[in-house]
């Protein structure tokens, strides 16, 4: 069936087929949340964000929104339908019978919250208290898709309780040191416990019939098991990237570009034994280029590896952040047409080009790219 911009349809099975319809986040009312166990574990020990919280300065919100609006326009000019979330009031505290936190986060990275698999969009459990209600930013869109597309399945994973039982107290210190963090990551000792299923949508990559999920700070093994039971027609694979002292979200680490080709962060290589399924099926895993920057922008949670947080528009075309010249050069060598998008001043609001988008529709069907299991 041919896609038409007049008719809403939710469908996306992978990360690379031609993108037709997408959500682009907003920087509106974004807050630096107060301290809480899972968030603290991710903030680098020498970060300028330690110890401060509250609404981000208006001029930085305006600048980030300018870049996100421009990105949305660039996509529209290429024929992609673009929707935007409706920001809730993120200054509101979150209180449940189990926990309290004084503010929420924002709605710049829909990729963290919404997982599109075929005709379904699934709201992730999330693993930070400040992100418990983040799905509400996307509910007006999901409501609209549900009303306009009779095949759309709107699903939500069980809300987690997020009591102290969900977090290892060892991670509460800001004096752990990178060496110990790397050792813990190697041992798969992460900040989240196995109290209950937890996952962020950005830990999942879609390869047709196969879902590849990172086990780390934001997704635990029970979260992966929950996904396995929820998608019985898929094969769900657990991966780890031991070189990452702050392992959250797979999309600055492992980036499929087209069938048969994946970029892998050279500081976070997929361990040899986990490469087998890719090699057996003719997939090549290549080291990504180096980031163009030595440090992230101010007040940013993410690492400089947002350089590889790209948005694939089709198997020959990819959006790369404008200042990431080495990443763009590598894409060119790999035969991809590069669309430059300026986004660096929005990184602090929740990530890069992959993070700030969520698929609504891509061409193509659910294919088996790994027949040799």
For position 288 contacting ligand DAV by CB under 6 A, the verdict is: no
Tell me whether strands 120-123 and 54-55 are parallel, antiparallel or unpaired. Answer: unpaired
- Torsion over CA of 305, 306, 312 and 315, rounded to 10 degrees? -10
For position 305 contacting ligand DAV by CB under 6 A, the verdict is: yes
What's the CA gap between 121 and 206, in Å, rounded? 13
What's the CA gap between 317 and 164, in Å, rounded? 44
Give 227 or 358: the residue with its C-beta nearer to ligand DAV.
358
What's the CA gap between 244 and 180, in Å, rounded? 12
What's the CA gap between 252 and 321, in Å, rounded? 13
Q: How far is the CB of 356 from ligand DAV (least distance, A)?
A: 9
Is 17 an active-site residue? no
For position 303 contacting ligand DAV by CB under 6 A, the verdict is: yes
Out of 29, 210, 351, 356, name the contact with ligand DAV by CB under 6 A.
Answer: 351
Out of 142, 185, 213, 252, name the contact with ligand DAV by CB under 6 A.
Answer: 252
Cα-flanking dihedrals φ and ψ of residue 53, to 5°? -155, 165
In order of 19, 176, 191, 192, 228, the CA distances from 12 in angstroms are: 9, 40, 31, 29, 18
For position 134 contacting ligand DAV by CB under 6 A, the verdict is: no
The active-site residue, picked from 300, 319, 355, 356, is 355
Q: How far is the CB of 292 from ligand DAV (least distance, A)?
A: 15
For position 355 contacting ligand DAV by CB under 6 A, the verdict is: yes
For position 24 contacting ligand DAV by CB under 6 A, the verdict is: no
Give residues with Cβ within 8 angstroms of 312, minimum separation 6.
Answer: 15, 16, 19, 256, 257, 258, 318, 319
Is 200 an active-site residue? yes
The active-site residue, picked from 200, 210, 244, 314, is 200
Q: Do residues 161 and 155 touch, judged by C-beta distance below 8 A? A: no
For position 302 contacting ligand DAV by CB under 6 A, the verdict is: yes
What's the CA gap between 52 and 32, in Å, rounded? 8
Is 355 an active-site residue? yes
DSSP annotation of 192 reads: B
For position 137 contacting ligand DAV by CB under 6 A, the verdict is: no
CB atoms within 10 A of CB 77: 8
Number of residues near ligand DAV (by CB under 6 A): 10
For position 214 contacting ligand DAV by CB under 6 A, the verdict is: no
Q: Tell me the window of 120-128, 178-186, 246-254, 310-318 that interacts with ligand DAV (CB under 6 A).
A: 246-254
Out of 249, 258, 344, 362, name the contact with ligand DAV by CB under 6 A.
Answer: 249
Catalytically annotated residues: 200, 249, 355
Binding site for ligand DAV (CB under 6 A): 202, 248-249, 251-252, 302-303, 305, 351, 355
């Amino acid at each position: 069936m041919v896609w038409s911009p007049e008719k809403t349809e939710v469908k996306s099975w992978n990360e690379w087929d031609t993108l037709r319809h997408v959500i682009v986040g907003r920087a509106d009312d974004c807050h630096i949340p107060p301290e809480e166990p899972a968030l603290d574990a991710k903030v680098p020990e020498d970060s300028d964000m330690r110890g401060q919280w509250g609404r981000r300065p208006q001029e930085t919100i305006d600048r980030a929104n300018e870049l996100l609006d421009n990105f949305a326009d660039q996509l529209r000019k290429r024929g992609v339908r673009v929707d935007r979330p409706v920001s809730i009031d993120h200054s509101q505290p979150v209180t449940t019978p189990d926990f309290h936190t004084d503010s929420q986060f924002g709605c710049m990275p829909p990729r963290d919250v919404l997982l599109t698999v075929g005709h379904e969009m699934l709201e992730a459990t999330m693993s930070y208290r400040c992100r418990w209600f983040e799905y509400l930013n996307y509910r007006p869109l999901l409501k609209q898709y549900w009303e306009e597309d009779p095949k759309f399945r709107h699903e939500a994973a069980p809300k987690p309780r997020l009591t102290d039982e969900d977090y290892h107290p060892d991670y509460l210190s800001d004096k752990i040191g990178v060496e110990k963090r790397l050792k813990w990551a190697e041992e798969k000792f992460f900040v989240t416990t196995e109290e209950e299923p937890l996952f962020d949508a950005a830990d999942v990559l879609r390869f047709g019939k196969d879902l590849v999920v990172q086990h780390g700070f934001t997704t635990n093994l029970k979260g992966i098991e929950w996904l396995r039971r929820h998608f019985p027609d898929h094969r769900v694979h657990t991966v780890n990237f031991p070189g990452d002292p702050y392992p959250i979200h797979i999309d600055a680490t492992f980036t499929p570009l087209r069938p048969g080709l994946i970029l892998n962060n050279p500081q976070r290589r997929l361990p040899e034994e986990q490469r087998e399924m890719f090699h057996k099926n003719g997939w090549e895993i290549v080291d990504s280029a180096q980031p163009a920057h030595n440090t992230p922008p101010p007040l940013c949670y993410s690492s400089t590896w947002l350089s590889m947080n790209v948005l694939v528009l089709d198997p020959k075309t990819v959006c790369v952040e404008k200042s990431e010249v080495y990443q763009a050069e590598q894409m060119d060598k790999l035969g991809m047409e590069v669309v430059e998008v300026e986004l660096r001043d929005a990184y602090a609001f929740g990530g890069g080009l992959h993070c700030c988008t969520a698929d609504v529709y891509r061409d193509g069907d659910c294919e088996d790219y790994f027949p040799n299991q």
